[in-house]
Amino acid sequence: MSIAASTVKELRERTGAGMMECKSALVEAKGDIEAALEILRTRGQAKADKKASRVAAEGRIELALAADGRSGVIMEVNCETDFVARDASFLAFASEAAALALARSPADVEALMQLPRAAGGSLEDLRKELVAKIGENIAVRRFERLAATGQLGTYLHGTRIGVLVDVVGGDEELRRDLAMHVAASRPQCVSPEDVPAEALERERRILSEQAAQEGKPPAIVAMMVEGRLRKFFNEITLLGQPFVKDPDISVEKLVQARKASVRRFVRLEVGEGIEKKAANFADEVRAQLEAHA
């Protein structure tokens, strides 16, 4: 049957789908634009399901901060290629997802994806539509919502590393400097008191075995272990590390001088822990061309 060009145009504007996909759906729906919408949704879900197993190790870290600076969300949103990570539709999806997580405080990613959108449908509906439109697997991998005791400092290193840090006292410059330090130096926790007991015992055991192999008396071995543990704490804790902008002082000395304290931080990096298949440059270009053909 004949479908008016204006109807195809309207469906494209409402869905973002390709012209031929819209025309095909309208023909199947006998010109009924609402029915065509449902057809495209169904096809989009099928495409999303098909692509769900594909590795999505690119993407961006998104931050959303409340107006009072007392609560915020940090979120990792993934796609398959760096090309899509810069796509306007992907960026808008990531921004909306973080804003929803901040406003509604969902318990986890699954709950977040079921939240209703102001424009209609759920965030999961939008994700599936985006997968159908862009042609890549897209997912919200993780997020954390931080309610501050003090004020939140934020830092984004490009789009791939993000930090939220809860600082009591100090000023905006200090909060940003601390967040930047966390991004650069990767501390595991704030202070030695925050090191998990299991990790501490494992490190103590390893250091004890190393020191014992040096043939020192037990009393000397114990002193050596304690000294090496202090070095270990300085390496993995935020307060023990040399301040990235002035390595002559520790972060602990910095915050003490500014009459401040750090309660908690969250650092996320795109693709952490995801095993990404190695590919040469030609293969990556070919994959992108095929995805966007």
Q: How high does pLDDT run on average in the chain?
A: 87
User: Kindly report the CA angle at 58 between 67 and 121, in degrees rounded to 5?
Assistant: 55
Average of pLDDT values for 170-196?
A: 96
Token pair 């002082």 in the structure block, residue: 249
Are 47 and 132 within 8 A, CB to CB?
A: yes
pLDDT tens digits along 102-126? 999 999 999 999 999 999 999 999 9
Q: What is the pLDDT of residue 10?
A: 83
Domains parsed from the chain with CATH numbers: 5-51 (1.10.8.10), 58-187+266-272+283-291 (3.30.479.20)
Q: Is 281 exposed, middle or buried (0-12, 13-18, 19+ CB in 10 A)?
A: exposed
Q: Name, of 21-35, 129-143, 165-179, the range with top average pLDDT.
A: 165-179
Higher pLDDT, 119 or 207: 119
What pTM does this model have?
0.73
Higher pLDDT, 218 or 179: 179
Higher pLDDT, 282 or 83: 83
